Amino acid sequence: MKLRAILSTLAVLTLLGGCAKKEAPDVRIIPEPAKMTIEPETVKFPGVRKIFVSLTDSSAFGVATYLAEKLGYSEIDYMGNNPGKCIFLEVRKLEGTANPEAYRLTTSDEGILVSGNSGRGLFYGVQTLLQLLPTEVYGPKGLRGISGLMIPAVQIEDEPRYAWRGMHLDVGRHFFPVEFIKKYIDMLAMHKMNVFHWHLTEDQGWRIEIKKYPKLTEIGSLRKDKNGGTYGGFYTQDQIREVVAYARSRFIDVMPEIEMPGHSVAALAGYPELSCTGGPFEVRTAWGVSEDVYCAGKEATFEFNQNVLAEVVDLFPFPFIHIGGDECPKVRWEKCPDCQKRIKAEGLKDEMELQSYFIRRIEKFLESKNRRLVGWDEILEGGLAPSATVMSWRGVNGGIEAAKMGHDVIMTPTSHCYFDFYQGDPQFEPRAIGGYLPLEKVYSYEPTPEGLTPEEAKHVLGAQGNVWTEYIPDQKQVEYMALPRMSAMAEVVWSPVKVHDYEKFTHRMVRQYQRFDQLGYRYRVPTPVPKAESFVFTDSLVLALHNSVTGAEIRYTVDGRDPAVDGQVCNGPLVIRQSIEIRAVTRMKSGHTSVPVVIHAEKQEMAKGYQVAPVVQGVDYELYQGDFKNVGQIDSVKAVRRGTMEVPGIPETNPASHYGMIFRGHIRIEKPGIYRFYVKSDDGSTLMIGDRLVVRNDGPHGFQEKSGEAALGKGWHTYELRYFQGTGAQNLLFSWSGNGIEKQVVPAANLASMASPVLMTPMN
């Protein structure tokens, strides 16, 4: 039966079923509320084009003004009590919760009532109300011209799981104007995020006006570009105040980050006397980490940073001030007479403790200004400052350690929270810094690590997503990298774990994409989802492409052309009888199109197996030392070690970084058929079986898995697995499935060393 006929039958069945039971309205809210009751009916949206506000709290008027702008209303009225048949906003003490961000929302024929424990809670209730309305409310005209509107009848009791729900933006590497910063803040507001982490200083640019030190912006805000000109910009103090006030109107706190003692070359370019060497310096044009940092031995360094922070504190009322503290090489300190003198005078053990001394002095100054110091998890090295809050980015261990010490923690590990990582295949995605962080992985994050006691877990304030901009040069690219991953992070930090369900989340995201369209945001459209990126068959293959966005089209080509331009609509499973490359995209109703996904389907003859006897268990490996960028470079140098191990993996003794390995052996296939092999690695890897490349997972990247298939006959087959490690984690996992085998690590019993004698008699 054709797919169209099936869909028609389903539509008839749905209509028949509707006669027996009235369906509840389709409500799709991001982030999912903690508790929601949806009645099987809709109610009339109040015809009175006016918003009524309780007299009990002045903050309600600001929320009403925000809502009026969205709806296209012009009138707000104060009332002592809810007059009914209207939109009524009130701040009052809610029963059952003391959370200041909690709200209640009821829609009925009696009107719309939004209540909050505070203005902040009321604002979040309004965000939910907007999501009950047609997506046009997010457009430039709001609801102007729309009458007779019906909305779902709901009762919602909601509050966030975590107090810290943040998004970060780096403006040091690339600069973005005030108008975009406000737009970014609006993105946070619609997601009920409450902290904007503004990364304002870097080696590549100083972005905040400090009146006492004008050369910070005169020199430090500009760097040379590749065309011989200059690139840069900065925010005046008036602009900073404007942004902070704008964020406050949306109940978002702005946390500035002023980097020290590292990532400070832009400051040293204007004030080289604050370095260990005296310079001269230029604002860096290359990314990465500089060995030139503030001199920790000079009193002038502390006087300078305290004066800078004094002006910063006056601009930002938020209690938390971020001072970086990360990636500070100690090379200059080790050779600096002033730093060595400081180490001796303060009785410090080494340069690690000198960094701790630096952080503690800055913390003491911030405390004198009623502010709390926040730093990346490197501030744990050498001893943590007494009241510091740790942002755990190099995994979760720093956060666990800090929480166990009684320090507050914000979780933001690269594995789940770095939105500058790739979202898909690098050959089609915009250039990124590396790594791989798809939407589903963001959604899977759990901010409170296992192993903490309930008391220690209280120190986990929440989590945030980070947008570093080394490879994000413009505003649209920021939006593309942040959305929709921001939506996933918002649900992680707001909604209770019990409602976390990725499939339901993607269903609700369909409406969120429509809201993004109305707002004019550039977001990443989900690609079509095949079961895998490559398939093998011996006769024919039935290939289904899953559409992850209801109502969107899948368009595809089989001749290498761009499916976004030349593709035909996919209306059902594809039957394939010859080797082919399929390119497919998701096309939204708005016209927004995903990057392509490429699926390889290869027709193969069954590879014949052979016998080995006697079997020598294990796999042979060779270890190579070098800074490899792909697996093809590994054997360009001599092996430094050879041996045999039980199954392919990371040896117990190996270099800390920059090495490669080649594993060779025989693999036994017990029944002829199509087998899928998986290689999960950090960094690159490839798998050959016989003379066929089965898995390509090459290049520098985080822990990611790729798979491929092979048609293999009964018996033994040679295989070669290559792996290289650059920096960071070391991981390698070799698995298989198919022909009755559930996905599992390839067992040692099916692997043999190349030392096994080969009897080349083919097996049937």
How does pLDDT run across 446-482, given as a tens digit for each residue? 999 999 999 999 999 999 999 999 999 999 999 999 9
DSSP single-letter state for residue 628: -
Q: How far apart are CA 744 and CA 234, in angstroms?
A: 54
pLDDT at position 3, please? 33
Q: Which two tokens stand for residue 699?
A: 């290049």
Q: Is the pLDDT of residue 314 over 50?
A: yes
Q: At what angle do helices 337-345 and 351-368 cross, to 10 degrees?
A: 80
Label residue 761 by pLDDT band (50, 70, 90): low
| Structure confidence by residue, pLDDT tens digits, 544-561 | 888 888 889 999 999 999
pLDDT higher than threshold 50 for residue 2:
no
Name the fold adopted by 534-603.
Answer: Immunoglobulin-like (2.60.40)
Sheet with 673-682, edge to edge strand ranges? 704-712, 673-682, 731-738, 741-745
Q: Give percent of the chain above pLDDT 70.
A: 96
Average pLDDT for 347-372: 97
Q: pLDDT at position 22, please?
A: 63
Nearest residue to 511 via CA among 547, 569, 551: 551
Backbone phi and psi for residue 748, each to the nearest 5 degrees, phi listed first: -60, -30
**Banded pLDDT at 7 (limits 50, 70, 90):** very low
Task: Please state which of the ranges 215-229, 621-635, 747-761 shows the lowest mean pLDDT.
Answer: 747-761
Where do runs of H (alpha helix) occur along 524-633?
563-566
Domain at 22-158: CATH architecture: 2-Layer Sandwich (3.30)
Burial class (CB in 10 A: 0-12, 13-18, 19+), 605: exposed
Give percent of the chain above pLDDT 90: 84
pLDDT, mean of residues 151-168: 97
Mean local confidence (pLDDT), 330-342 = 98
Does residue 567 register a pLDDT over 60?
Answer: yes
- Burial (CB < 10 A; 0-12, 13-18, 19+), residue 239, is middle
Which amino acid type is present at position 592? H
Please tell me the predicted confidence (pLDDT) of residue 317: 98
What tokens were used for 635? 């054997």
Mean pLDDT computed over 154-183:
98
- Radius of gyration of the CA atoms of the chain, in A: 29
The answer on pLDDT for 1 being more than 80 is no
Q: What is the pLDDT of residues 214-261, one digit of tens each?
A: 999 999 999 999 888 999 999 999 999 999 999 999 999 999 999 999
Q: In what order do the strands lie in the sheet with 51-54?
A: 35-44, 150-158, 103-108, 111-116, 86-91, 51-54, 76-79
| Mean pLDDT rounded to a whole number for the chain | 93
Domain 164-198+251-263+287-519 identical in fold to domain 534-603? no
Which CATH class name applies to 609-763? mainly beta
Identify whether the C-beta of residue 552 lies closer than 8 Å to the C-beta of residue 586: yes
Q: Given a cut of 90, is residue 527 above it in pLDDT?
A: yes
Class of CATH domain 164-198+251-263+287-519: alpha beta
Give pLDDT tens digits for 19-39: 345 677 899 999 999 999 999
Both tokens assigned to 360: 């503690």
* 702 pLDDT above the threshold of 90: no
Instruction: Return the domain boundaries, the chain.
Output: 22-158, 164-198+251-263+287-519, 534-603, 609-763
pLDDT at 14 over 50: no
In this prediction, residue 133 has a pLDDT band, given cuts at 50, 70 and 90, of very high
Give how far Cα 457 sits from Cα of 111, 160, 194, 384, 502, Å: 41, 16, 20, 19, 25
pLDDT at residue number 67: 96
pLDDT band at 727 (very low <50, low <70, confident <90, very high): confident
For residues 154 and 14, which has the higher predicted lDDT (pLDDT)?
Answer: 154
Q: Locate the DSSP E strands across 160-314.
A: 164-170, 195-199, 201-202, 205-206, 222-224, 230-232, 253-260
Proportion of the chain in helix, strand, coil states, percent, rounded to 5: 30, 30, 40
> Which of 89-98, 377-386, 658-667, 715-724 shows the lowest mean pLDDT across its residues?
377-386
Position 5 scores a pLDDT of 35
